[in-house]
A = this chain, B = another copy of it.
Amino acid sequence: MTEDLADDIAEVMPGVLLRTQGVTAAAGFRAAGIAAGIKARGGPDLALVVNEGPDLSAAGVFTTNKIKAAPVLWSQQVLTTGKLRAVVLNSGGANACTGAPGFQDTHRTAEELAAALSNWGTNTGAIEVAVCSTGLIGDRLPMDKISAGVAEVVHELAGGISGGTDAAHAIMTTDTVPKQAAIHHSRGWNVGGMAKGAGMLAPALATMLCVITTDVVATAEQLDAALRAATSLSFDRLDVDGATSTNDTVLLLASGASGVTATQKELDGAVLAVCDDLADQLMADAEGVTKRIRITVTGAANEGDALTAARTIARDSLVKTALFGSDPNWGRVLAAVGIAPVALDPDRISVLFDGQAVCVDGVGAPGAREVDLSGIDITVDVDLGVGGATASIRTTDLSHAYVEENSAYSS
């Protein structure tokens, strides 16, 4: 989190952020996660988050990839009502590039979940159920397993720490740890969230599934505004490998169970705090990560230029491999930013690694080759020398482990 952002959040959010709680940190929500046999290698793979109300307001942000998975197409449609009762999520298969039959599978999952919830005592229609899937692209889901799992998972619903934590485990793919964050506001309302995502982490949304809950009283419009503002400053600024998945989904559900109304600014701050913390957790657990890198561009003509420059550096394979090797090879940073479609002054550009100047006014600084980058966290600051705008991107290094993990995924 940048200092400015931290200040903004602190101002409106007199609360504590915890990573031990997730979607059930907010009143009115129950969740569950079970092993339904969807993943070939076993383990939890089906999660459910249910909003018990009284409100059912909801908003969502989805992948900008033109190739959209069936659950994305379904959930986008469902969310046009601004209402959600439940979100059912599976790992073990993305249900992307599966054609009309794949869409029917998603539809059927929502119908079966709605029926199960109704039997369980919470009257629900399929149109109130969002579906999220993650895993390999191109294969149909094992619908026998999904159907049995959907009937079972409603019986495991729980509040408190356990329900949310079980759900957070069940959405993991190559993630090594579950990701949860919750904020408890001093005025008696809460925001909690869970996320998964380790590869295909990229721009238009860090590729991922994320469900955020709150017990504040808010309309779908307020939630939508808060969610768009938060994702644009958090997940959209996490760029591990420049890839955007077919399944990116971030949902925000409000139960109103606290009975408390917040200002838009308070809501924005709390949702951003949770998203920003989850983004940090995604970066820390990205595929093959050995370095957590924060690239900040200053001195840009405008924020768009700063963001484009930071993203271009974050995606450069030669910068990422150098940082994997703890090599202060600042020339690669200059070569990378030099191809970004932004205004810069080659004779005024400067670069700092971990706060130490390695390039000043376009020329190497004394001692630049001796900067110690052996730590896990590395900051790269680049001043373009033409203006006053700034922006940051979180990224990771390009390591042997990244190559290893991604060269043997489907097989």
Asked if A139 lies at the interface with its beta carbon under 8 angstroms from chain B, I say: yes
- What per-residue 1/0 map shows which CB atoms of A47-91 lie under 8 Å from chain B? 000000000000000001111100000000000000000000000
**A318: B residues at CB distance < 8 A:** 199-200, 241, 243, 406
Asked if A250 lies at the interface with its beta carbon under 8 angstroms from chain B, I say: no
Pairwise interchain contact A398-B409, C-beta atoms closer than 8 A: no
**A266: B residues at CB distance < 8 A:** none
What is the bound-complex CA distance between A410 and B369, given in angstroms?
9
What is the bound-complex CA distance between A327 and B405, given in angstroms?
12
Q: Specify which of B64, B98, B136, B329 is in contact with A409 (CB 8 Å cutoff).
A: B329
Asked if A158 lies at the interface with its beta carbon under 8 angstroms from chain B, I say: no
Q: Specify which of B203, B368, B407, B409 is in contact with A138 (CB 8 Å cutoff).
A: B368
Pairwise interchain contact A331-B399, C-beta atoms closer than 8 A: no
Pairwise interchain contact A246-B338, C-beta atoms closer than 8 A: yes
Return A397 CB to nearest CB of chain B, in Å: 8
Asked if A16 lies at the interface with its beta carbon under 8 angstroms from chain B, I say: no
- What per-residue 1/0 map shows which CB atoms of A323-335 lie under 8 Å from chain B? 0110111111011
Enumerate A187-211 residues with CB–CB distance to B below 8 Å.
199-200, 202-204
Pairwise interchain contact A403-B398, C-beta atoms closer than 8 A: yes
- What per-residue 1/0 map shows which CB atoms of A191-234 lie under 8 Å from chain B? 00000000110111000000000000000000000000000000
Enumerate A355-372 residues with CB–CB distance to B below 8 Å.
359, 361-364, 368-369
Asked if A339 lies at the interface with its beta carbon under 8 angstroms from chain B, I say: yes
Asked if A40 lies at the interface with its beta carbon under 8 angstroms from chain B, I say: no
Return A318 CB to nearest CB of chain B, in Å: 5
**A327: B residues at CB distance < 8 A:** 407-411
Q: How many residues on chain A are close to B (CB under 8 Å)?
A: 68
Residue of B nearest to A207 (CB): B335
What is the bound-complex CA distance between A124 and B154, given in angstroms?
86
What is the bound-complex CA distance between A325 and B404, given in angstroms?
9
What is the bound-complex CA distance between A199 and B329, given in angstroms?
14
Return A339 CB to nearest CB of chain B, in Å: 5
Pairwise interchain contact A362-B97, C-beta atoms closer than 8 A: yes
Asked if A245 lies at the interface with its beta carbon under 8 angstroms from chain B, I say: yes
- What per-residue 1/0 map shows which CB atoms of A298-328 lie under 8 Å from chain B? 0000000000000000011110011011011
Asked if A92 lies at the interface with its beta carbon under 8 angstroms from chain B, I say: no
* Known A68-B346, A411-B325, A411-B327: A332·B98 in contact at CB below 8 Å: no
Pairwise interchain contact B66-A322, C-beta atoms closer than 8 A: no
Return A340 CB to nearest CB of chain B, in Å: 8
Return A210 CB to nearest CB of chain B, in Å: 18
Known: A66-B344, A200-B335. 5 other contacts (CB 8 A): A99-B361, A200-B318, A246-B335, A321-B403, A327-B411
A-B contacts, 22 of them at CB < 8 A, read A66-B338, A66-B339, A66-B344, A66-B346, A67-B335, A67-B362, A68-B346, A97-B363, A97-B364, A137-B329, A138-B368, A243-B339, A244-B339, A246-B338, A321-B406, A321-B407, A322-B407, A324-B407, A325-B409, A327-B409, A369-B411, A400-B403
Q: What 6 A-B pairs are tightest by C-beta distance, nearest first?
A: A137-B331, A325-B407, A67-B338, A321-B406, A65-B338, A99-B363
